[in-house]
Chains A and B, each alone.
Chain A
């Protein structure tokens, strides 16, 4: 009866799911022949080079940040949430705890925290507080709703490798999926190009906030990601025009990295020199891949099958880059030891699978088995509805773990949707847990978030309350929704 929807889902799952995020990297001159091939989570370097004045563009040199973030936190006063169960993602929960937000940061959290006299006090009695939810895999904005051809901007399927495209250039900030994500407690997302290509392009890390421009949503200092995809999708998309097989896929990746390494050497040499004379010619795609080889862009690799993950790990070693996360990974549990040994996180669903051959071994035990093997385990969505229930998916993972004799506490499982995805996008020093000094991305839930009945009641981003379920005037509506989507009549 809803087969149409199923087909849409099938198409979306086939082509929409991708792992290439594009977070604006710091405004560093990428040209430094840096500690190449190590994707580190170190804090981004500060830009010490003054920007090139307009009109002086004699040098068409790579610019690390040509579309800089213009995001500024919404101004807010201090807030104290009192007497709540605080699930911190750093350790045991705090019962009857208090958390204080000021100037966009968490300044205190604990059982015995004084409420500043100037703070707006929110009563958390009977309620729960968690960090804002983080999704490593989303196509919000690039596959916007409504899902019409005119808004299908997620897959540049004009060539099997399109490292030159950046997801942010497809993001529609008026996508009505954004406010729905925020209303479910999701505060940071990685938006990826689709998975139709071997190399799909750059991803971008966005804050889920209202803005006229994508620049106004970009997470300041976040690094970019590169979306790569294994298996059936590229094989299917290019069956009639290039690739036909998985071995063709692998040959395709390797050819790109060979070119990229030569390009990196050429530019690094020029940049390390006196910079006189004609610079090497620029290639946008190679620029992105060279940045991956320098460790300045993270690889996010859509890959379902265990054996293909092992091959992608070998390719990464061959060319000296690291994979930050395997996405979808329905068979990740089969190589959990390999992922742990290589420090690769797994972004997976709780139980979505079965819709194509490479997804048929999906099991609900994926999350607990990965967790138990020491893998940084992440629940991701690839879906605007699923994104709103990552907490429920985590609960399913806890429940299934018990069947296998694996006991995962809620205080650990919360990391699957907060701290671990923060690590995968290189922002675990700023978001993902409730610790003093971190960004005040905070969700107040009306019930235990691992219950099916829980709803995000209030959501703060950098200390500003941007969603309040109890107050329709505090609910963001996109331009698109005006006049089209019936006004809320229910809190």
Chain B
């Protein structure tokens, strides 16, 4: 798996991003104090490291964008900027693992919508790197991070194999600066039937099997392939290439499956091809929680949906996260996958608690669990030494609608600024509005 961190990203991209970054900085000096190498001490808060028990009156020490230490008996350097979090709650930045933030601005406006890929019309677009259409200037990024979401998965959609997802921090800068890891996963959907995908569930499954088998064939006989000495394979060359890390079990295949039987099918497929998989959708995960647990397959679920909107989601219920956790499976909570409301994942976690998920597990399900599932737990998802300083100071319980994210740090930098929505609110607070403000 290649790690497209900011150092590995293309030079051109990076140079362009820096120039714009300076402009952003100059225009926003009033709101932020962006000094990368700064030492910051967040003191006095109720600290939820997620990787360990809650620390009352704890300190989080940050230097040069990383967490240096977390605890109660921490020596604070004299030059540290102190942030008093007395009476506040301190958590890792919230992760929304499956969004279209930055790749879909307005869903119904085609020119701003960069997912799903069209490909050749055969619903296999494994080579589709959705993040290459990412817009770091999307105003929705500010909306999202103002609410304490510091990291998002950017995922493609549609098709049998939709393409590759990335994990990005909602920091300033260009995509290279923001990128945590890409790809984090390949996405597939075994529940969608229809033209180009398959007429039956069995046919959809067989098409996926053919793709996986032909990826192996392609790897074994690449020289023959170059000489046109192989039979026709199940996908284009680029798509087969992209599937290699999947068939090698290195890149998770995120399989969209809702009906209990679809989830079981996905588990069988994983065994058949030794795949590393994650289930998304998972409306009926609670019915097969024990099997997900024994296969050690994490499941991405929402908590706000109890409507049997299709025959594949008849078992949809708000207790899904709780029951699936109780069955022993690793639960990741998502929700608000559109960029406009990617911020609402914290309420999804809160509702999961209301319907039985232990509070600590709900926080884990929107921080460390997604980080672990997608190979970035060494960077984000918990408050531990060495992790990125993605930290949120909340006025109270982060899952409560009345709670505000009071300060949001991404890689040690405070990123809260008036969003486009904030500007609209200020403009129309008094009517008629002042259009010069």
Contact = CB atoms under 8 A, between A and B. Distances in A.
Contacts of A365: 421, 424-425, 428-429
Given A146-B310, A354-B338, A355-B338, A452 B351 contact: yes
A35 B307 CA distance: 43
B351 to A, nearest CB: 6
Interface stretch (B51-59, B106-114, B206-214, B375-383): B106-114
A146 B323 contact: no
Nearest to A383: B307
B393 interface: no
Interface string B45-72: 0000000000000000000000000000
A1 B281 contact: yes
A395 B344 CA distance: 13
B106 A453 contact: no
A140 to B, nearest CB: 10
Interface stretch (B16-24, B238-246, B311-319): B311-319
A486 interface: yes
A50 to B, nearest CB: 44
Interface string B297-315: 0001010111111110111
A398 B191 CA distance: 40
A362 B307 contact: no
A45 interface: no
B304 A3 contact: no
A392 interface: yes
B91 interface: no
A99 B189 CA distance: 52
B401 A354 contact: no
Interface in A56-80: none
Given A3-B115, A354-B106, A180 B353 contact: no
Interface string B150-179: 000001111000100100000000000000
B218 interface: no
A369 B428 contact: yes
Given A6-B157, A356-B107, A452-B351, A490 B356 contact: yes
Given A355-B107, A364-B421, A369-B425, A453 B404 contact: no
A451 B397 CA distance: 10
Size range of the chain B interface in the assembly: 35 or more
Interface in A376-394: 384-385, 388-389, 392
B189 A399 contact: no
Tell me the interface secondary structure of chain B in the complex.
loop
B98 A357 contact: no
B401 A392 contact: yes
B339 interface: yes
A2 B337 contact: yes
A10 B314 contact: no
A177 B308 CA distance: 8
Nearest to B260: A486
Nearest to A10: B107
Interface of B: 98, 100, 106-109, 115-116, 140, 155-158, 162, 165, 187, 189, 191-192, 254, 256, 280-281, 287, 300, 302, 304-311, 313-315, 317, 319, 322-323, 334, 337-341, 344, 347, 350-351, 353-356, 399-404, 421-422, 424-426, 428-429, 431, 433
Given A177-B307, A452-B400, A490-B323, 15 more contacts: A3-B155, A146-B314, A148-B310, A351-B344, A352-B340, A357-B108, A363-B424, A364-B425, A384-B307, A392-B347, A395-B401, A399-B402, A403-B425, A404-B429, A452-B353
Q: Which 10 A-B pairs have the closest CB atoms?
A: A3-B157, A354-B340, A452-B350, A365-B425, A356-B108, A395-B401, A1-B280, A1-B98, A363-B421, A453-B354
Interface of A: 1-6, 8, 10, 14, 145-148, 176-177, 180, 232, 333-337, 351-357, 359-365, 369, 373, 384-385, 388-389, 392, 395-396, 398-400, 402-405, 450-455, 481, 484-486, 490
19 contacts: A1-B334, A2-B157, A3-B115, A3-B116, A6-B337, A356-B107, A369-B425, A373-B431, A385-B305, A389-B304, A398-B402, A399-B402, A404-B426, A451-B400, A452-B354, A452-B400, A453-B350, A454-B354, A490-B317
